[in-house]
A and B are shown apart, each in its own frame.
Chain A
């Protein structure tokens, strides 16, 4: 357990992915199989039932240490993380840690998850006392369902593959089936003997690059334009009567999208298609948040299937009947895609080609992207092969211009746990009748001169300080850009602002130039 927690703690502050991977590999090289099995299970995103909340853990921590709450809060304010604060206070610093991850999971966390609060409290306080600080931190995260790591599925697979001397896709494929955290499963996962059904794997995903303005000087007829779908990039593989969906981010996804799998079963030929998964209802895409709800749920219930159905929007075909066709030109592949998908089920669609005779017309179309749940337009050279992802040149992403509003700074805060920092956590407001209401929070991307200006402003015009948040006099005006709006009941103004960011300070304007909430409502309605 100690080695596992230490590895996670190291990885959490590494930025270089090569280093992270070698830390993960280092752990698996030294770990015993029963421990490694649980580590794989946890790192693959499996979760235990949530025991309690961090605030309850805080209370247990106070009860066992007899520390006053104000002193805990003072500490929390410095550390900036509740689970960490508790870990630093109760974690053992001596050589007492003999707890195994397997023991923690199998003898404590799983059997007692339904126990009474009193029993749970006793168990956890006792367990804390047998763990070092890093392990208490991991335990706190597991207990509260907030366990997250900086180790992606593909990094885990790469690391395991290297440790076991296997191909990465073999590990990914094996991990795609339900992994039971036992010694036997772990040994099977790392077994050098490859089985037959492990052969259906995706190609590297080709990536578009941000639009180069020079493209607009070329002949528009050389390009195929499509929506830049705001979804989940994936390859759909139909192989020997089986269907596999490989997401670009998360690898093989099993049983997550039954409707797409069923539709793909009907395909007459084996093939690999590149495309995007979107939540889709009544012939229209749903916002990205719908897809996120669908994906974030551990199992796909009937309710979820009904509420957020998904489709696969195919835009390319990479292999036909077992042979790689990536070197064929795009227009050939597109024709073949249309042909092969003529025979699929209803939940696989072809990404439509956007026709326009000149660049101005296309640019106007691009600004309507949000009505199609897209971020803009992708241009693909019609005679291009499907390249490996590192090569630039054939796909260009032409993003829709963001929306912008003029807003007033209402609140400012420093990032928690960062005492030197500038006031970079800024909250902005818009007019609602005669009142300014907050509508978006953005992290400052200003340069250091402007940041210093904001710092001075906050110091001078703070009217109230609540915890880390400084309420300032409404005086300072900013231009704020954002990508999109989504209806949201959690937000006071009834909508969530997607990716708000600061464009610039507007010292030349006063607060009566700020926009009204009405403007956002108008944008939302237009969609």
Chain B
């Protein structure tokens, strides 16, 4: 690969609307409405409404239409294929975060930047696995950018979840599992053992499920009969249902969160649910470092999460790294995942 010219302006930089490519005149995950937005995935802190044109990975299309409106001007691109926009080559590559999540590879005059968006390195039946893309500059997330975050094998976690459900079903309890309606809910559903009992979700999750099934993701049949859940059933609902009238009305129940934050005992206790399952759609510490190693960039820009520690650590280990400041930066990384 040719070396990048240190004197030329960066290919991508932050302005008041978001991460901007000046030569190509487009944005990646802008937070304001712009002319042309490349969207990494459908979570609300990455996909904002009201832009005039969108580009996303093909499997992400129906999700974006649910989230941003049916009539958005949307162009899609299969993973690995490229288009040229104002002379800049853009291609999308699987990020393994949720269905349709993509890393954005941007190439101009031989210089390559990759924006990972949110990603994970663990297997997930509901989306294509992460593919490392070699580049000169890597823009990486850092939601779990501390060495205390090391994910257990997700297969084990799914086993634990089924065991928890089975155990409580025998006791005649209703299990309530809190998970984000886009991504985590479907990942959980795809691994539930439907022989244990009926599974319910709330309407928001059911709508997303349809988008997943349309993309050929297998999800178990849901019990959509009206009326209250029977003892032994499992409900997947968004975390906002915690302590709402909904959870109180199911009086014989037990609750659990599935999130990377559950790795911390303190966070489990603060969440006030009965169980915490460590299951994240973001890269853990080793995953972040592995990605930097795999992509072998000259420079790393860190965003979204524990930016300072990761930047400092990379620099100390001989990788040139900088913070890429976005409005999400100022927020606690803990709040961030909950915004999804």
Contacts and interface: CB of A to CB of B under 8 A. Distances in A.
A81 interface: yes
A68 B153 contact: no
Contacts of B266: 79-81, 416-418
A74 interface: yes
A88 B332 contact: no
Contacts of A19: 274
A91 B276 CA distance: 18
Interface bracket on A: 20 to 34
A417 B312 contact: no
A266 interface: no
Interface in A55-81: 65, 67-68, 70-72, 74-75, 78-81
Contact of B265 (A65, A68, A84, A420): A84
B148 A89 contact: yes
Contacts of A65: 147
Interface in B255-310: 263-270, 274-276, 306, 309
A78 B143 CA distance: 13
A411 B268 CA distance: 27
Contact of B151 (A14, A74, A93, A418): A93
Nearest to B275: A10
Contact of A419 (B149, B153, B312, B332): B332
A387 B99 CA distance: 64
Chain B interface bracket (under 10, 10 to 19, 20 to 34, 35 or more): 20 to 34
Contacts of B146: 71, 74-75, 78
Contacts of A89: 147-148, 150
Interface in A292-340: none
B316 interface: yes
Contacts of A70: 312
Contacts of A10: 275
A71 B309 contact: yes
Contact of B309 (A74, A81, A85, A88): A74
A94 B153 contact: yes
A417 B264 contact: yes
Contacts of B313: 68, 71
A435 interface: no
Contacts of A74: 146, 306, 309
A408 B154 CA distance: 51
Contacts of B334: 419-420
Interface in B130-147: 146-147
A114 interface: no
Interface string A262-283: 0000000000000000000000
Nearest to B149: A88
B164 to A, nearest CB: 10
Given A93-B153, A417-B266, A67 B274 contact: no
Contacts of A196: none
A67 B264 contact: no
Nearest to A84: B265
B152 interface: yes
A66 B276 CA distance: 30
Nearest to A416: B266
A435 B151 CA distance: 51
Nearest to A415: B266
B305 to A, nearest CB: 12
A91 B265 contact: no
Contacts of B274: 14, 19
Nearest to A68: B316
A503 to B, nearest CB: 27
Q: Identify the interface centre among B146, B149, B306: most chain A CB within 10 Å of its CB.
A: B146
A10 to B, nearest CB: 8
Given A67-B147, A71-B147, A419-B332, A81 B316 contact: no
Nearest to A89: B147
Given A13-B268, A418-B270, A419-B334, A75 B153 contact: no
A89 B309 CA distance: 15
A274 B289 CA distance: 64
Contacts of B264: 78-80, 84, 88, 417
Contacts of B270: 418, 420
A9 B263 CA distance: 11
Contacts of A116: none
B318 to A, nearest CB: 13
Given A93-B153, A420-B270, A78 B148 contact: yes
Given A68-B313, A70-B312, A419-B334, A85 B148 contact: yes
B153 A13 contact: no
Given A12-B265, A13-B265, A93 B309 contact: no
A133 B269 CA distance: 18
A70 B315 CA distance: 14
B165 to A, nearest CB: 15
A417 B309 CA distance: 17
A95 B268 CA distance: 24
Interface in A409-435: 416-420
Contacts of A78: 146, 148, 264
A85 B149 CA distance: 10
A88 B263 CA distance: 8
Given A71-B313, A91-B150, 16 more contacts: A10-B275, A19-B274, A67-B147, A71-B147, A71-B312, A72-B147, A74-B146, A79-B148, A81-B265, A84-B264, A89-B150, A93-B150, A95-B156, A133-B150, A419-B332, A420-B270
Interface of A: 9-10, 12-14, 19, 65, 67-68, 70-72, 74-75, 78-81, 84-85, 88-89, 91, 93-95, 132-133, 416-420
A-B pairs with the 3 shortest C-beta distances?
A417-B266, A88-B148, A75-B148
